[in-house]
Amino acid sequence: MPAPFDSTSGLILIPTQFPKGREQEDLAKGVVDFRIDATKLTALKETLGITDFNIGETRVILERLYEGLKIRDKPDPERKINIIYGKNNGLVREPATVLKEGKPEVDCDEATRAGYLLAWESGVKNIVMVEMHWTDPETKERTGHSFIVLMPQEKDGMPRIYDFTYYKKGKPLTVENNDMNSLETAIRKEYAADAVNPDFRIITRNNLNEVEAAHYELVGKYYTKPRTQNWKKSEEAYGRAVSLVPTEFAYNWELGVAYENRGKLKEALDIYKKCAGYEEGKNNPRVLGALGSVYAKLGLNEEATNFLKSALDNNPDTELKLEILRNLYLIGVK
């Protein structure tokens, strides 16, 4: 106890907004670590084969990334970019390193985000970072992937989708008047085979912190699965996600789960208390049960009893109820 929350419940579609200046970028913790100064930006353009930058060159950036990703495990000495696919590395390097010639073992999502950041630093604001999540009905495992939609400057222009997971190069989408709801409809039509899954979700990220944190969430979940379980790495991933988006309930909750599983009980207690203060955590039987569980492990049975009984009073599901009753029994409460 506790089991991780499923943070994908309910459709999330955030209107896309972008940082409005360097002062906001400076305040965006984590983003400044990957800032591209004028010198680096010039060098990257040369690496990508881009000359004077303008709005239309965004497509060139994404096409270069696409061509690099397509190489996978066989670098081509004739290409300026070779990006090899490797899972769950996270965005831990700046774009200059990610896009370095011949650099191996770069995550597909990492390269996608490098392209997003490169375009944004170059002054382009008309791109939308999109992630799709769904749960396999047989294995119950969460899956999904990320892509970039390049939105046109003109009202009646044709958006184009750059899907690095499926390697679809600049595929046009029919979107009416650049409307975000229309964009969702177009994406669901394009990915109809996946969209039939009742758990299919489309998520747009509204700034670079959210983009990066969302990837660390996936990395964290990867290391909570039984066959790949590594609570230290899960803690590191969710800790990074929380540092980027401190107010996200799901990231805090998962960090608390990692702390508890690593035996960092005081840290877990602090995080669970924080979770209890969120709207999602108020009178939540899983949060209350988690607090009771940690208090019990700390030997504070009175506090543990109060929280566990409170969890029972807030309609836990059958599995959670049995776990709560077991914990009460272990501390001598009948």
Residue corresponding to tokens 């394009």 = 190
**Global model pTM greater than 0.85:** no
Question: What are the structure tokens assigned to 219, written together?
Answer: 């990395």
pLDDT at 244 over 80: yes
Confidence of residue 14 (pLDDT cuts 50, 70, 90): very low
Answer with the residue of higher pLDDT: 116 or 19: 116
Q: What digits encode the pLDDT tens for the residues 73-99?
A: 566 677 666 666 666 666 666 777 777
What pLDDT does residue 282 have? 92
3-7, 83-87, 153-157, 212-216, range with greatest mean pLDDT: 212-216
224 or 203, which is more confident: 224
Q: Which residues lie closer than 8 Å to 147 by C-beta, 6 or more apart? A: 112, 130, 161, 162, 163, 164, 165, 166, 168
Q: Which of 257, 326, 320, 322 is nearest to 294 (CA)?
A: 257
At the fourth CATH level, the homologous superfamily of domain 208-330 is: Tetratricopeptide repeat domain (1.25.40.10)
Alpha carbon separation from 120 to 2, 34, 35, 124, 318 (Å, rounded): 39, 12, 10, 5, 48
Neighbours of 96 (CB within 10 A): 18
Please tell me the predicted confidence (pLDDT) of residue 2.
47
Q: Residue 265 pLDDT > 90, yes or no?
A: yes
Ranges 4-18, 77-91, 217-231, 270-284: which has the least confidence: 4-18
**What are the residue ranges spanned by the domains of the chain?**
1-206, 208-330
Q: Mean pLDDT in the chain? A: 77
